[in-house]
């Protein structure tokens, strides 16, 4: 099967990312005797996990539209399953969870079909109305409001919000550009993940004043500002390369991704603190769970999708 999404800009950008991972592994090897064993092991796990995540994501994205939609539907399923494993659920709601899981393939079917109207209202409207009724049929009223609220919030974050990334692949655009449909997807993921890295690095170098110490003590104003400015510069530079955006539009997108990605991070941190867990799972060595890795994308994907659709959509 040919790699139908493998355009030159995407392949070049992917090559740069792989070279950066190789450089990180080389740096760790050179510093092996200078780092504490615990830090060296954690960094090695993180880098190894990044190789796997970048490899699987890139193959699915470049292989075909169907492959990527199927892959990301599975990612949403894992995220939803992870979420349900964390939150307290009533025994009476176990059958209701079936309908929540069924929403995953249905939501991605609307994307594959190109039916924007159903994609945008299926979970926020129809499941919002249906799931409480299905809960009522169980006959259990104790903690009803808490249960229906946590169930729908989980669907909105792990399925509806994340599905906007996959929807970029089928977004009709007025312009044609050399990066093809995979370009905006790769652009958003790259900006979101590099924003997390940039905010961490700037925070370690210059961080003094904490933003929300009771939620995420390591987040500082200096790290946030440095990360947002770095992401804005990358957004402006990569916008014309991977998307129909001009450099000024890319600059604004980078600012938005930097700011909103931080929100997704601290919101998920607040959820974990409320539940008394450090990570959402141990699925990804060195990174935690699926939600730990995708928390920023929950917020940046809808923002970027609707911006691109409004500005450049057909």
pLDDT in tens, 87-98: 988 888 888 999
**pLDDT surpassing 50 at residue 1:** no
Q: What is the pLDDT of residue 204?
A: 86
Q: What is the mean pLDDT of residues 250-267?
A: 96
Q: What is the pLDDT of residue 151?
A: 95
Q: What is the pLDDT of residue 77?
A: 97
Q: What is the mean pLDDT of residues 172-180?
A: 89
Q: What is the pLDDT of residue 242?
A: 96
Q: What is the pLDDT of residue 38?
A: 80
Whether residue 123 contacts residue 179, with contact meaning beta carbons closer than 8 Å, is answered with no
**pLDDT surpassing 80 at residue 241:** yes
Whether residue 131 contacts residue 152, with contact meaning beta carbons closer than 8 Å, is answered with yes
Q: What is the pLDDT of residue 34?
A: 80
**pLDDT surpassing 50 at residue 64:** yes
**pLDDT surpassing 60 at residue 65:** yes
**pLDDT surpassing 60 at residue 2:** no
Q: What is the pLDDT of residue 287?
A: 85
Q: What is the mean pLDDT of residues 6-24?
A: 93
pTM of the model: 0.94
Q: What is the pLDDT of residue 41?
A: 86
Whether residue 251 contacts residue 228, with contact meaning beta carbons closer than 8 Å, is answered with no
Q: What is the pLDDT of residue 119?
A: 98
- pLDDT tens-digit readout, 68-86: 999 999 999 999 999 999 9
Cβ partners under 8 Å of residue 10, min gap 6: 62, 179, 180, 182, 183, 186, 242
Q: What is the pLDDT of residue 75?
A: 97
**pLDDT surpassing 50 at residue 133:** yes
Q: What is the pLDDT of residue 37?
A: 83
- pLDDT tens-digit readout, 197-238: 999 889 988 988 999 999 998 899 999 999 999 999 999 999
**DSSP per residue over the chain, as a string?**
---TT--HHHHHHHHHHHHHHHHHHHHHHHTTTTS-HHHHHHHHHHHHHHHHHHHHHHHHHHH-HHHHHHHHHHHHHHHHHHHHHHS---GGGHHHHHHHHHHHHHHHHHHHHT-HHHHHHIIIIIIHHHHHHHHHTTT--TTHHHHHHHHHHHHIIIIIIHHHHHHGGG--BSS--TT-THHHHHHHHHHHHHHHHHHHHHHHHH--SBSSTTT-TT-BHHHHHHHHHHHHHHHHHHHHHHSS--HHHHHHHHHHHHHHHHHHHHHHHHHHHHHT-SSS-SSBTTTBSHHHHHHHHHHHHHHHHHHHHHHHB-
Lowest-confidence region among 88-97, 108-117, 138-147, 270-279 = 88-97
- pLDDT tens-digit readout, 180-195: 999 999 999 999 999 9
């Amino acid at each position: 099967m040919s790699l139908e999404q493998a355009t030159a800009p995407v392949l070049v950008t992917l090559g740069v990312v792989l070279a950066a991972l190789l450089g990180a592994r080389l740096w760790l090897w050179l510093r092996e005797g200078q780092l504490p064993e615990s830090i060296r092991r954690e960094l090695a796990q993180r880098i190894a996990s990044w190789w796997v995540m970048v490899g699987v994501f890139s193959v699915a994205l470049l292989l075909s539209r169907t492959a990527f939609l199927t892959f990301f539907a599975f990612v949403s399923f894992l995220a939803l399953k992870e979420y349900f494993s964390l939150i307290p659920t009533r025994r009476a709601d176990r059958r209701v969870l079936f309908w929540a899981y069924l929403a995953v393939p249905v939501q991605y079917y609307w994307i594959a079909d190109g039916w924007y109207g159903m994609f945008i209202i299926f979970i926020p409207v129809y499941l919002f109305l249906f799931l409480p009724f299905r809960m009522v049929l169980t006959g259990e009223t104790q903690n009803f409001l808490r249960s229906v609220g946590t169930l729908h919030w989980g669907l909105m974050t792990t399925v509806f919000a994340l599905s906007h990334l996959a929807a970029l692949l089928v977004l009709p655009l007025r312009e044609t550009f050399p990066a093809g449909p995979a370009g905006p997807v790769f652009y958003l993921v790259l900006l979101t993940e590099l924003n997390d890295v940039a905010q961490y690095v700037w925070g370690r170098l210059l961080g003094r004043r904490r933003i929300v110490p009771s939620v995420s003590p390591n987040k500082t104003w200096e790290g946030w500002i440095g990360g947002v400015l770095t992401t804005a510069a990358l957004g402006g530079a990569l916008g014309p390369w991977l998307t129909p955006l001009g450099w000024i539009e890319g600059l604004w997108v980078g600012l938005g991704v930097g700011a909103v990605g931080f929100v997704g991070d601290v919101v998920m941190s607040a959820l974990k603190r409320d539940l008394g867990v450090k990570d959402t799972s141990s699925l990804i060595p060195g990174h935690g769970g699926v939600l730990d890795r995708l928390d920023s994308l929950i917020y940046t994907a809808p923002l970027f999708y609707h911006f691109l659709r409004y500005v450049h959509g057909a």
